[in-house]
Structure 1
Amino acid sequence: MINIDGSTIESLRQENTRRRVYLPDGTSMPQLGQGTWYLGEDPEKREEEIKALQLGIQLGMTLIDTAEMYGDGKSERLVGEAIRGMRDEVYLVSKVYPHRASRHEILAACADSLKRLGTDHLDLYLLHWRGDVPLALTIAGMEQLKAEGKILRWGVSNFDVKDMDELFSIKDGDQCQVNQVLYNLGSRGIEYDLMKWQKERNVPIMAYSPLAQGGRLRRELLGSEELKRIAAKYNAEPLQILLAWVIQNNDIVAIPRSSNPDHTYLNAAAALIRLDEEDLKQLDKRFPAPTMKMALDIL
């Protein structure tokens, strides 16, 4: 494990605590958080995964994103154990299955998540993706959860422009605070229209998979000479440059996943990297922004 001295921990904590993204309701949330997809599924990795999450909190990455879908509740249970005694320090986000997002079923789904997480409320509750339940019923359920104090605010995930237009046309749909979508240097489709749509309405993007999921895309990103040169320039890892690229935009929240403390530290330290104009030009040339409408990337 990387040996981190006290001064480094404190400087990272201060930097990540300072970096906030503002929501339509006037509140703010941490810009750099921690994702938990696949965490909690392997009992042999449980202790290390808990240490990784707790180190992230210590380093100022106090936003933790989970979902009832992740490991069929195992991720929420892991998070609940990791944050025990530290709940007040954490900005807690979870997500509801689309088939449980009706007016009344969402109340039970949220109660289940709260029980697994060991808390009495969520800071943010998201509809994981669109299903067959009419959005008006989901919104009504979300608003009831707010009124009961079970959630402080709500948002959506994996919504494209057409979905957001429909959402905002419904009563209380404009209470949506965020849209969580896939976004990284190799998946920039949202820049064509969705990002602009949300910026005009001050609704932030939450970027999941900001380091790109394993596979061909990730290999292509990490294998690029441009990324390697920029990483060497900052004495950083290429993955840190990918993360620094995402959070250069003050309207974007990033939730990289880490299952071990070393990777958690590298993610936290990415907040200290400031890419300059030449860096951005090189990355744009190698991995250009879209010039036409693209289907929303979803994992």
Structure 2
Amino acid sequence: MGVALGMIYKPLGKSGCLVPALGQGCMGIGGFFSQDISDDDRYIGALQRGYALGMTFVDTAEVYGDGHSEEVIGKSVKGIRDSIFIASKFSPENSSSRGVIDAAERSLQRLRTDYIDLYQIHWPNPLIPLEETLGAMVKLVQEGKVRFIGVSNFSLKELKEAHALLGDKLVSIQNEYNLFDRSIESTVLPFCVENDMTMIAYSPLDQGNLSSPSKKACLEEIAQHHDGTVAQVVLNWLVAKRNVVAIPKSSNIHHVEENAKALAFRLSDAEIRLIDDAFSGNQKRIPVKEIRVVQDGQGNRKAYCTLSEAIENKLGFVPSPADLAEDIASGEPIKPVRVRKTTSTEGGYAYDLLEGRIRYWAWVIANGETSAIPVLIRE
């Protein structure tokens, strides 16, 4: 993998491999949860522009665009494959030994390559022993079809279990990390630092919600001082954290170029502390009975609206609300759900649930309908 002028490179765990501190996330490229072929040329152009600017770490998953995201990436790396670090993820329903192997073979075909640089468990599956899943991933490494192993969306408890099984062969964990949701700072991030494991921050720009209006002035002032943008300041703040690399997604060439220039300057220690202080204390607790659950989930995915539906889990979510409830009941910290003050006058609710429906119902199953759940409140 070539070295680009101005790009920062960080170790990938203890693998001896260096990766760009800024890569490219691909959720939504090629479709979200169904295939979208209408913008392939634009997506390929944006990815290739990113590669040219040093963002040669690209992350996708078999579920993105129902596999089409991997196909788009496969086309984008034609003729330059060995210069690009490709990471992909398999879905929890494919966590059996046979399922992992078959999922990898399908991803290899869609990516038009004979190896995946970093293969990751997308979400944990408590119905299948983690030892079995990781064992299949080790086999893929031994066969030369995968170079390195990572996990994604794991709790601290699950990460510790995976690390106990693999040791230094587990090079990374990918979780959400941005100024709005900093919950990993008290859980998995310290473990990554202690064990020299890479933290891959997805949604680093919070899907475009860069800052609440009440806090944006801080970022704007710092951006102006560096002749940069708020997005560049946020990315700079993230990769200044030890062991953290970020994978912002953009299908717009202008935004790709803006992201790539985020490391053209360095934040001072004082600026980092200022941002840390301004964006602390985001997490609150709200009684679950004050939160209204709507029918459609994020990205128009169906969601449960009642406790009985969640317990029954007819939609087959893995892990299920009941599975997550077991972890919560054991004291495992929960990633906060996201809410916004409601504009509806019906039902007496104070907030609408925006994201985290499975976690919401898991919390209710574990703690009851009179409990208060950890939340992040959108302004």
Q: TM-score, normalised by structure 2?
A: 0.71
Residues 136 and 272 (structure 1), Cα distance of their counterparts in 2 relative to 1, 3 Å cut: same
Determine helix, strand or coil for the equivalent of 2:88. Answer: strand
**Moved segments of 4+, more than 4 Å:** 289-294
Residues 177 and 222 (structure 1), Cα distance of their counterparts in 2 relative to 1, 3 Å cut: farther
Tell me by how many angstroms 1:169 deviates.
3.1
The alignment status of 1:138 with 2:133, answered yes or no, reads: yes
Q: Is the 8 A contact 1:98 1:133 kept in 2?
A: no
Select 1:295's aligned residue among 321, 334, 359. 334
Tell me by how many angstroms 1:127 deviates.
0.1
Which amino acid is 1:43 matched to? I
Match of 1:72 in 2: 66
Select 2:96's aligned residue among 102, 105, 125. 102
Match of 1:25 in 2: 15
Residues 276 and 294 (structure 1), Cα distance of their counterparts in 2 relative to 1, 3 Å cut: farther
Across the two proteins, how many residue pairs are aligned to each other? 285
The alignment status of 1:200 with 2:239, answered yes or no, reads: no
Determine helix, strand or coil for the equivalent of 1:64. Answer: strand
Tell me by how many angstroms 1:53 deviates.
0.3
Match of 1:256 in 2: 248
Q: Is the 8 A contact 1:79 1:117 kept in 2?
A: yes
Which amino acid is 2:130 matched to? L
Tell me by how many angstroms 1:201 deviates.
0.9
Match of 1:155 in 2: 150
Match of 1:8 in 2: none
Give the Cα separation in 2 of the matches to 1:291 and 1:181: 17
User: Of the two, which has the highest radius of gyration?
Assistant: 2
- Residue-by-residue CA offset, 1:154-180 (whole Å, 9 max, x unaligned): 11001121111222333x355211000
Match of 2:6 in 1: 15
Q: Is the 8 A contact 1:21 1:250 kept in 2?
A: no
Residues 139 and 294 (structure 1), Cα distance of their counterparts in 2 relative to 1, 3 Å cut: closer
- Residue-by-residue CA offset, 1:73-125 (whole Å, 9 max, x unaligned): 01001111111111011001000101102111111100000000000000110
- Residue-by-residue CA offset, 1:12-57 (whole Å, 9 max, x unaligned): 93122x5223422232222211000000124332211111100111
Residues 48 and 222 (structure 1), Cα distance of their counterparts in 2 relative to 1, 3 Å cut: farther
Give the Cα separation in 1 of the matches to 2:213 and 2:163: 35
Which amino acid is 1:281 matched to? R
Give the Cα separation in 1 of the matches to 2:214 and 2:9: 26
Q: Describe how 1:164-175 pairs up with structure 2 within 5 A.
A: 164-170=159-165, 172=166, 174-175=168-169
Which amino acid is 2:153 matched to? N
Residues 85 and 219 (structure 1), Cα distance of their counterparts in 2 relative to 1, 3 Å cut: same
Residues 211 and 109 (structure 1), Cα distance of their counterparts in 2 relative to 1, 3 Å cut: same
Match of 2:81 in 1: 87
Give the Cα separation in 2 of the matches to 1:286 and 1:102: 44
The alignment status of 1:62 with 2:56, answered yes or no, reads: yes
Residues 196 and 291 (structure 1), Cα distance of their counterparts in 2 relative to 1, 3 Å cut: farther
Q: Is the 8 A contact 1:192 1:290 kept in 2?
A: no
Give the Cα separation in 2 of the matches to 1:290 and 1:228: 19
Determine helix, strand or coil for the equivalent of 1:123. Answer: strand
**Structure 2 unmatched ranges of 5 or more:** 285-331, 338-354, 356-379
Considering Cα pairs closer than 8 Å and 6+ residues apart, tell me whether 1 or 2 has the greater RCO: 1
Which is strand-richer, 1 or 2? 2
Q: Is the 8 A contact 2:9 2:18 kept in 1?
A: no
Tell me by how many angstroms 1:235 deviates.
1.4
Which amino acid is 1:268 matched to? A
Is the deviation greater in 110-119 or in 99-108? 99-108
Q: Is the 8 A contact 2:154 2:173 kept in 1?
A: yes
Q: TM-score, normalised by structure 1?
A: 0.89
Q: Is the 8 A contact 1:21 1:253 kept in 2?
A: no
Q: Is the 8 A contact 1:23 1:178 kept in 2?
A: yes
Give the Cα separation in 2 of the matches to 1:98 and 1:33: 24
The alignment status of 1:116 with 2:110, answered yes or no, reads: yes
Sequence identity of aligned pairs in percent?
35
Select 1:177's aligned residue among 171, 189, 192. 171
Tell me by how many angstroms 1:280 deviates.
1.6
Match of 1:239 in 2: 231
Give the Cα separation in 2 of the matches to 1:174 and 1:102: 22
The alignment status of 1:36 with 2:11, answered yes or no, reads: no
Which is helix-richer, 1 or 2? 1
Calculate the aligned-residue CA RMSD, in Å: 2.3
